[in-house]
Amino acid sequence: MNVVFYGTPDFAVPALTRLLDSPHRVAAVVTQPDRRRGRGQRLGPPPVKRVAAASGIAILQPERPGGSAFLATLSELEPDLAIVAAYGRMLPDAVLDVPRLGTINIHPSLLPRYRGAAPVQRAVIAGETETGVTIMRLVREMDAGPLFARRTRLIAPDETSAAVESDLARLGAELLLEVVRHLETGTAVEQPQDHAAATFAPRLSREDGNIDWHASAADIHNLVRGLHPWPHAASVLDGARYLIHRTAIAGSAGPHPPAPGTIVDSSGDRLLVSAGDGGTIAILEIQPEGRRRLETRAFLAGHRWSPGQRFDTPAA
């Protein structure tokens, strides 16, 4: 079939790669415009563009994917099918309807749960033990189209959202080709979603990373791993902000636990902080904002933190 592929970040790369290795023809790749990134704010292409350029595929980077010029170009390609994987922009009905077989999407959750921009991160933050990937038809309402197929995956207790999302990208690429084959042969089955069971995963912000030490140790640990690689969990001590990259649940703070956020041990490679449920969190990697990330032993060698010092907690 003649396929148009929409995608931007690393999550979309496995699906594009599998399509390029398949019998189908990728007529064009649609990705977001190049952006300035990093400390140097250098202009750079998105990951999907790099793959497409290396394969000699036509690349489209519209600022407005609903504009008349883009719609005309898309129509000239005469696609049988369009595939979306983390493109990052809403597509209007006029664009969705151009391909003969419509437009399908790879979504990293078990729809109808976790519709929205941050499904993997929100699932990890919530402490879910299972997630998955869904292939669905795109419709006007966000992530509400009928489902073609789903595949589940367990979430390990210490896995970060980055690790989970990377594996879901691989699973989604495998499942995609199965669905495309059924669409090509006319054997695809679409199942409506149970909209009453829908939950939502709104876009993350820097403020989502503020650690509330009154939460349980498990909830704080889930926040840390859920917000990796961005925006990271963070807290403030003595007016300075620190990013918390890696933690572990360390057990009870004793029969008379100190106030939440209090350091209970800061020796060797141990940096234990009390949580709101009487448990403790072991901080394993930490980063003073604007400086480099360090394992706890290296960090404490240069910071004289003592039991009794307390991280700030946002007001209730």
Domain boundaries, given as residue ranges, for the chain: 2-197, 207-301
Q: Is the pLDDT of residue 248 over 60?
A: yes
Q: Rounded mean pLDDT of 3-16?
A: 98
Q: Grade residue 316 by pLDDT with cuts at 50, 70 and 90.
A: very low
Q: Grade residue 166 by pLDDT with cuts at 50, 70 and 90.
A: very high
> pLDDT tens for residues 120-131?
999 999 999 999
Architecture of domain 2-197: 3-Layer(aba) Sandwich (3.40)
Architecture of domain 207-301: Roll (3.10)
> pLDDT tens for residues 90-113?
999 999 999 999 999 999 999 999
pTM of the complete model: 0.95
Same fold, 2-197 and 207-301: no
The lowest-confidence range among 169-178, 295-304, 307-316 is 307-316
Q: Grade residue 37 by pLDDT with cuts at 50, 70 and 90.
A: confident
Q: Is the pLDDT of residue 250 over 80?
A: yes
| Mean of per-residue pLDDT scores for the chain | 95
> pLDDT tens for residues 66-75?
899 999 999 9
Q: Rounded mean pLDDT of 234-258?
A: 94
User: Six-digit token pair at 2?
Assistant: 């003649």
What percent of the chain lies above the pLDDT cut of 70? Answer: 98
